[in-house]
Amino acid sequence: MSVRQRVGKRMRKYLVGGSTAFAVAVTLLMVLAPASAGLLKPAYKGTSSSPFSYSSWTGCTTLSPGASAWVPKTGNVTTSDSGVTKSCPGIDGPLNYSSTAYASNGITVGIPFKVATVGNHSIATKVFFSAAAAVAKAVGGCPKKNIAYHQPPSTSASAYCEDYNQVELSVSGTVIDLNNASWYSHNYSDAYAYNYSYWQNYTNCYNFGTPTCTNTTTGYGSTFSGGYNEVGLINLHGTSTVTLWTNGTKMVTGHVYLLEVTVSVYLDLYTYAYSLLAHWNGSSSASLNLATTGHRAVVTSVTFT
């Protein structure tokens, strides 16, 4: 198998806490009179948000991140991302080429609240999703390899075509105390769903006593949903609802707490060809729409008990 094969490698980009949390906190402390009721619903008051976008690529790649936005009046969160990598001769040599891309796009929302009693409290955040994800890749058509099928003694050589794609949608929640930077919530919660697939044609020739060549063609695809301290699973191709649970210990009535909710889209794209005798039309693409034609996420309610 190629050393570049990355089957099932799950990579998530979260922007929770850290500088974002404190930037939101400073803003809220100046303008905020947070609610202390046990249930918050749209329209949310005194909130703030911080969009983020990160991407890295090589070769013949096109990335199209969408704008991320938070609407306190409705609780709507919108974001999207799409990309494609293609095989393009001339990157590493006439018939060796690679294209890769990583992209993360999303937004962190800060919702302030107070508790009515001193002690331990549970915060339940319900989030609705209407998502549309898609992945595609080239399968087949790998040209003959530019390697010697009768290798000299004690040598080996390999050549291959392969492509890979992954798209992931995630939501996470945590709570911070804006009056006490050393305080931390008892637990963190998240939910995620991803779809990945790959295809590969791989040739390996070696001579460690007897000249031998092997050729294999493999492919795989999978969709998975999971989470931590959550109820419900995200659906990448339709509607779903998840509830994130975050417990806070020794909470104080006079303090302002901030629930941070992060919705993130992640893409991982990869197309590679090595040591071929002709051009291979390889490509990998992925997209996640959480922004148009009714697709969105909605923070429908926040309940703290």
User: Is the residue at 134 inside a domain?
Assistant: yes
Across 18-22, 81-85, 291-295, 300-304, least confident range: 18-22
Across 15-19, 120-124, 190-194, least confident range: 15-19
User: Is the residue at 165 inside a domain?
Assistant: yes
Q: How many domains does the chain have?
A: 1
| Separation between Cα atoms, residue 154 and residue 214, nearest integer Å | 16
User: Is the residue at 3 inside a domain?
Assistant: no
Instruction: Tell me the C-alpha to C-alpha distance, in Å, between residue 108 and each of 21, 48, 162, 239.
Output: 9, 9, 35, 21
What does the DSSP 8-state code read for residue 65?
Answer: P
Length of the chain, please? 305
pLDDT tens, position by position, 141-195: 999 999 999 999 999 999 999 999 999 999 999 999 999 988 876 678 999 999 9
User: Is the residue at 11 inside a domain?
Assistant: no
User: Is the residue at 7 inside a domain?
Assistant: no
Binning pLDDT at 50, 70 and 90, where does residue 2 land?
very low
| Separation between Cα atoms, residue 27 and residue 50, nearest integer Å | 12
Q: Give me the domain span that covers residue 275.
A: 18-304
Q: What are phi and psi of 21, to 5 degrees?
A: -60, -45
Catalogue the E-assigned strands of 87-188.
97-113, 119-130, 132-137, 155-177
Binning pLDDT at 50, 70 and 90, where does residue 6 land?
very low
User: Is the residue at 10 inside a domain?
Assistant: no
Residues 6 or more apart from 182 whose CB is under 8 A from it? none
User: Is the residue at 204 inside a domain?
Assistant: yes
User: Is the residue at 6 inside a domain?
Assistant: no
What mean pLDDT is reported for the chain?
A: 87
| Separation between Cα atoms, residue 132 and residue 235, nearest integer Å | 9
Across 15-29, 146-160, 170-184, 228-242, least confident range: 15-29
Indicate whether 37 pLDDT > 80.
Answer: no
H-type helices in 140-184, by residue range? none
Sheet holding 257-274, edge to edge: 48-58, 97-113, 257-274, 155-177, 189-207, 211-228
pLDDT tens, position by position, 246-280: 988 889 998 999 999 999 999 999 999 999 999 99
Instruction: Tell me the C-alpha to C-alpha distance, in Å, between residue 266 and each of 103, 104, 204, 214.
Output: 6, 4, 33, 35
